[in-house]
Amino acid sequence: MRQRVLLFSFVLVLVLLWSAFDSLKVDYLILVNRNHSLPSYWDSIVNLVPTQSVDGEMVYVEEETLIHFRELQQDLLLKYDIDLQIDSAYRDYNTQKELANQLRAQYGVEYVNVYVAIPGFSEHETGLAIDFTLVKHKVLDKVLGHNDNKAYEQIHSILHKHGFILRYLAGKEVITGYGYERWHIRYVGEEAAKDIYERKITLEEYLNIY
C-alpha cells in the first residue's frame, strides 16, 4: 500500500512539473531593457533556428520571428524592390559582453551607454530582435546613418503587418533607454505591432511599464 502511495506521489510530482514546464511558452511581448533582465528560464523555452546574415555567417533567430521576417523580406522586395538582410540577431550572454567591450574600446563609454545593452539586459539575447541592413549600403546606413531615408520609411511603414515594431523610436529615448535605431526591429506579433504602430508608442508604453 505504501509503495502505491509513493508511486502515485511520484507520478503526481512529474505531472505537475511537466505542466509547469509546458506552461512556459515564449512570450512575444517580453520586456527586456536596461531595467528588465532576461528571465533565467528563457534559454530553455526559446526555439532558435539557424540562418545566414548578410555577411554569409551563421546566425540564429527565434523560429516564429524568422518565419515572419522572411515574409517581410518578400513583401519589401515585391513592393519596393528593397533587399532587406539580417546584420545581426541572437547573441548569447558572452557574445553580448564581448560586443559591449569592443564598442566601448572603439567608440567610447558614452556611445555604449546610449546604444549598447549590458549582458543579460539585451533584446538580442531573446532571439526576437533583428538588426537589419540594406545590401547596397550596409556600412553607410547602419553605422553612419547616411542616405536611403525613403527606403527606411517604406520599411518602417509595413513592419507591423508582419508582427514587427521599430523598437527604439526617436524622441522616446527616456522611455526606452536607448537612442534612435532605425535598423533594430523586434517581433511582438501582428496584433500588438499594429496597435503600437498606429499609436506611435513604444513597447514600454504599450505594456505600461516605464
181 tagged catalytic: yes
Active-site residue, from 62, 123, 125, 181: 181
Beta bridge partner(s), residue 133:
85
Q: Is 177 left (phi over 0), alpha (psi -120 to 50) or beta?
A: left
How far apart (Å, rounded) are the C-alpha atoms in residues 102 and 61?
A: 23
Which one-letter amino acid corresponds to residue 82?
A: I
Residues that are catalytic: 181
